[in-house]
Structure 1
Amino acid sequence: MFNALVVRKDDAGKTAAAVEQLDVGQLPEAEVTVAVEYSTLNYKDGLCIGPGGGLVRNYPHVPGIDFAGTVEASDDPRYAPGDKVVLTGWRVGEAHWGGYSQKARVKADWLVPLPEGLDTRQAMAVGTAGFTAMLAVMALEDHGLSPGQDPVLVTGASGGVGSVATAILAQLGHEVAAVTGRPESGDYLRDLGATKIVAREDLAETVKRPLEAETWAGCIDAVGGAMLARVLGQMKYGTSVAAVGLAGGAALPATVVPFLLRGVNLLGIDSVMQPFDNRERAWQRIARDLPLSKLDSMIRPATLSDLPKLGGDILKGQIRGRVLVDVNA
């Protein structure tokens, strides 16, 4: 028997989440069984813990879109008992039972060996948010971003993706301008390496001018909506925006002018279906380029029993940094 956070739906369609004891025989069929050590809390997790957001197909359900742990059993030659592994994406925690559990059974194709230099706690302090941040940094680099240019803008900087993106970019030698709607987060973001704090209201308003002064050498955007439209008009010639989220809305009230007159690139970042080679590359870069000493300042520890409340909090935008879930606490 083992503990897991189980979400159930009643006949009226109302969902409720609670920690329950499950049997190994209840785990879904797949090749690799993992003793989970840590997971995290992401926006999607908040949806799956609560109303589902259209992500959960069947109930009862175990959420948790990422986890790190140790292989217990494997029918695939790529993994053996004792191997340390990390999982993000592949709709685990949505369509497939996830990491809010002391045990998980998943497909071997979904796993990545834990890179040297990271332990399972650090890997989940990074988690899906940090993995996404590194994918965004890599995409900007692939499109010409290098240190020593003008500031790189990070929107939603006090959230999970933004926090890790700020720390990585600063470690790589970039000047980082961090956008936040929480004035009290200024010291936190400076500690992560931000050199400039930009108030959210300075970028939240849509303007009629399709182009403004060329200001940013790159941008990692977790907000979308009107803010992304505004930022596109402020990018320097030939630079790129990596879009990772839509906290400010899915609509994009923009024109094509920044693309046509300044050669701006809008790069979509998906962390769910990334191929293995790019996943491995991203995790290797995280182990190398993320200042691990900054992780503790980002972390809020939690247990399985804390998650029903925290899931609601993250949907309300009330979570700063990273929630690290010790599933065995």
Structure 2
Amino acid sequence: MSTPNNIAAYVLRETAEGVRGAMATVGPDDLGEGNVLIRVTHSSVNYKDGLAATGRAKIAQTLPLIGGCNASGIVADPGESGLHAGQKVTVVGASLSEKHPGGFAEFVRVPSSWVAPLPEGMTTWESMAIGTAGLTAAMAIHKLEKNGGLHPSSGPVAVTGASGGSGTLAVAMLAKRGYDVTAITGTPSSEALLRQLGATQVLARPDVSARTRPLEHASWVGAIDTVGGDVLAWLLRTTLPGGSVAAFGNAGGNALNTTVLPFILRGINLLGVTVSFPDPAFRAQMWEQVAADLPHSVLEAVTQTIAFTELGGALEAIVENRTVGRVVVELSSEG
């Protein structure tokens, strides 16, 4: 299939106010290098996308660049990849919108090693309702179970930033696997949703501004932190002896101000989680896990779908903490 000459895209550019994103028309040469051409049907709005589009953090390493760190759609030209035309695929956990043109465009061209075929029966909309958020949450659960020895009978598990994209999906997956989940959120209005997803307890985000002791009352045997900063330090102080915290967020800051006491007195495990360029076999395993743990009904409950033309407002909302759950961008029909 030949690539159209006029492709609708959301492009990050340097402006007088800093880096900003805006709708534009691009050509085939703007799609970057790769041997697989995908017609994008859906993308998603992630916190990193919001940071990039509003200039709040330097995400794009070269400008101008098409934004969007996720993409899902239909293979238009498989090249020599071994994929086949018409196959449903997704690209998550690569360098889209950082070093390579991203998924906020009607087409994306990428190396075949970045492409993951969707599990049987999964739609491209579902894959973007999951996206980076769900795949990372699944990897965090995997680490807690495989590295931290966590299982449902171990005790309560906490999720911070529970009303966000990763947080809602983490709550749902943990509950589906039989865990006693405490959802911690700064959005009180999301309590009904979090309980619907399976949280047994919903707590307000802790006040981490005051000076505290290096160890506090221990409450959970495991935790998933989507926030970072002082919230992560608080989790470490409040995790039970031998417990584990899987961390992948930085909305609360990149710095971690803590002491060694949770580690040397309580034996806490801090497990880092990244979705960037996983081993293909492990990536496939995680997609199968989220397919099993996140049925369509759950994804519908936590996801809003917007038109491509509404993308700018959604990117502003996510960095201003006005987004609950996931946001999927519909670029074209899956059929």
Q: 2:284 aligns with which of 280, 285, 288?
A: 280
Kept in 2, the 8 Å contact 1:206–1:230? The answer is no
Q: How many residues align?
A: 327
Structure 2 letter corresponding to 1:104: V
Distance in 1 (CA, whole Å) between partners of 2:218 and 2:49 is 37
Following superposition, the deviation at residue 25 of structure 1 comes to: 4.1
Following superposition, the deviation at residue 226 of structure 1 comes to: 1.7
Distance in 1 (CA, whole Å) between partners of 2:14 and 2:262 is 47
2:301 corresponds to which residue?
Answer: 297
Residue 229 to residue 18, structure 1, CA distance change in 2 (3 Å)? closer
1:6 corresponds to which residue?
Answer: 11
2:265 corresponds to which residue?
Answer: 261
Distance in 2 (CA, whole Å) between partners of 1:3 and 1:285 is 33
Distance in 2 (CA, whole Å) between partners of 1:258 and 1:69 is 45
Following superposition, the deviation at residue 67 of structure 1 comes to: 1.0
Distance in 2 (CA, whole Å) between partners of 1:51 and 1:227 is 24
Q: What's the C-alpha RMSD, in Å, of the aligned pairs?
A: 1.7
Following superposition, the deviation at residue 13 of structure 1 comes to: 6.2
What aligned pairs does 1:18-167 form with structure 2 within 5 A after superposition? 18-51=22-55, 53-142=57-146, 143-167=148-172
Structure 2 letter corresponding to 1:227: V
Q: Which runs of 5+ in 2 are unaligned?
A: 1-5
Distance in 1 (CA, whole Å) between partners of 2:63 and 2:212 is 47
Distance in 2 (CA, whole Å) between partners of 1:117 and 1:269 is 27
Q: Percent identity?
A: 40
Worse-matched range after superposition: 50-59 or 232-241: 50-59
2:329 corresponds to which residue?
Answer: 325
Following superposition, the deviation at residue 212 of structure 1 comes to: 2.6
Distance in 1 (CA, whole Å) between partners of 2:190 and 2:31 is 41
1:223 corresponds to which residue?
Answer: 227
Q: Which runs of 5+ in 1 are unaligned?
A: none
Structure 2 letter corresponding to 1:309: G
Distance in 2 (CA, whole Å) between partners of 1:254 and 1:52 is 26
Kept in 1, the 8 Å contact 2:49–2:315? The answer is yes
- Could you list the per-position Cα deviations for residues 180-230 of structure 1 after superposition, in whole angstroms to 9, with x for gaps in the alignment? 1111111111111111011113x5345532223331021000112222112
Following superposition, the deviation at residue 51 of structure 1 comes to: 1.7
What aligned pairs does 1:237-248 form with structure 2 within 5 A after superposition? 237-248=241-252
Distance in 2 (CA, whole Å) between partners of 1:246 and 1:16 is 21
Structure 2 letter corresponding to 1:192: L
* TM-score (normalised: structure 1): 0.94
Q: 2:191 aligns with which of 182, 186, 189?
A: 186
Following superposition, the deviation at residue 91 of structure 1 comes to: 1.4
Distance in 2 (CA, whole Å) between partners of 1:193 and 1:119 is 24
1:234 correspondence with 2:238: yes
Distance in 1 (CA, whole Å) between partners of 2:234 and 2:31 is 46
Following superposition, the deviation at residue 47 of structure 1 comes to: 1.9
Structure 1 letter corresponding to 2:330: D
Kept in 2, the 8 Å contact 1:70–1:82? The answer is yes
Kept in 2, the 8 Å contact 1:168–1:291? The answer is no
Kept in 2, the 8 Å contact 1:5–1:305? The answer is no
Distance in 2 (CA, whole Å) between partners of 1:200 and 1:309 is 26
- Could you list the per-position Cα deviations for residues 286-314 of structure 1 after superposition, in whole angstroms to 9, with x for gaps in the alignment? 11122331111111111222112221211
Distance in 2 (CA, whole Å) between partners of 1:54 and 1:7 is 11
